[in-house]
Chain A
Amino acid sequence: MAKNKAHKKQSFFEWCRGYTGQKYIITVLFLLVPLALLITFTFVPAANMFVYSFQSRDQFGINPEWVGFDNYKTVFTDSDYLSTFKNSLYYLFGSFIQLGLALIIAEILCSKIKFKNFYKATVFFPWMMNGVAVALIFRSFFMKGDGITNTDGALNSIITFFGGNAVSWLSDPKIVNFCLVFASIWRYIGFDIVMFIGAIQSINPDIYEAAELDGANAWQRFWYIIFPGIKPVIGLQMILAIKGAMSVFEIPYVITNGQFGTTTFVIKTIETAFGYKKVGLASAMAVVLLIIIIIVTIVQKLLFNEEADNASMKSEKLFKKKKELI
Chain B
Amino acid sequence: MINKKLGSNYNGKSPAFRESTPFARFLAKLAMHIFMWLAVLMVIIPLLVVIIGSFKTNKEFFNTEVFTLPDKLNIANYKEAFIGGKVLLGLRNTLIIIVISCAGTIITGTMTAFVLQRFRTMLSRFIKAAFLLATLLPNISMQVTVFQIVNKMGLYDSMLAPIILYIGTDIISITIFIQFLNNISVSLDESAIVDGASYPRIYFSIILPNLLPAIATVLIIKFVGIYNDFYTAQLYMPSKKLGVVSTALYRFIGPYGAKWEIIFAGIVICIIPTLIMFLALQKYIYNGLVSGSVKE
Contacts and interface: CB of A to CB of B under 8 A. Distances in A.
Interface string B247-263: 10110110001101001
Contacts of A290: 136-138, 141
A162 interface: no
Interface of A, helix, strand, loop or mixed by DSSP? helix
B110 to A, nearest CB: 9
Contacts, number: 267
A135 B146 CA distance: 26
Given A130-B249, A136-B263, A282 B45 contact: no
Given A121-B282, A250-B230, A140 B43 contact: no
A48 B35 CA distance: 51
A237 B65 CA distance: 40
Nearest to A201: B290
Interface string A190-220: 0100110110000000000000001111100
Contacts of B137: 42, 46, 290
Interface in A177-199: 186, 191, 194-195, 197-198
Place the interface of chain A in its size category: 35 or more
A301 to B, nearest CB: 11
Nearest to B124: A27
Given A41-B168, A250-B230, A282 B275 contact: no
A27 B115 contact: yes
B224 A266 contact: no
A45 B198 contact: no
B168 A49 contact: no
A224 interface: no
Contact of A150 (B49, B138, B193, B258): B258
Contacts of B134: 38, 42-43
A137 B47 contact: yes
Interface in A99-147: 104-105, 108-109, 111, 113-115, 118-119, 121-126, 128-133, 136-138, 140-141
B231 interface: yes
Contacts of A279: 144-145, 148
B115 A133 contact: no
A254 B285 CA distance: 27
A154 interface: yes
A243 to B, nearest CB: 8
A297 B46 contact: no
Given A46-B142, A52-B145, A41 B164 contact: yes
Given A40-B168, A122-B43, A136-B249, A215 B286 contact: no
A119 B290 contact: no
B36 A128 contact: no
Nearest to B48: A154
Contacts of A240: 296
Contact of B142 (A31, A34, A45, A186): A45
A13 interface: no
Interface in B183-202: 193, 198-200
B123 A283 contact: no
Contacts of B250: 132, 254
Interface stretch (B8-16, B71-79, B210-218): B8-16
Contacts of A154: 45-46, 49, 66
Given A42-B168, A266-B141, 4 more contacts: A52-B145, A114-B33, A140-B50, A152-B66
Interface of A: 17, 19, 22-23, 26-27, 30-31, 33-35, 37-38, 40-46, 48-49, 52, 59, 61, 104-105, 108-109, 111, 113-115, 118-119, 121-126, 128-133, 136-138, 140-141, 149-154, 157, 161, 186, 191, 194-195, 197-198, 214-218, 236, 240, 246-247, 249-250, 254, 266, 269-270, 273-274, 279, 282-283, 285-286, 289-290, 293-294, 297
Interface of B: 4-5, 8, 13-15, 17-18, 28-29, 32-33, 35-36, 39-40, 42-47, 49-50, 53, 61-62, 65-67, 108-109, 111-112, 114-115, 119, 121, 123-124, 127, 130-131, 134, 136-149, 164-165, 167-169, 174, 193, 198-200, 203, 224, 227-228, 230-231, 235, 245-247, 249-250, 252-253, 257-258, 260, 263-264, 267, 270-271, 274-275, 277-278, 282, 285-286, 289-290, 293, 296
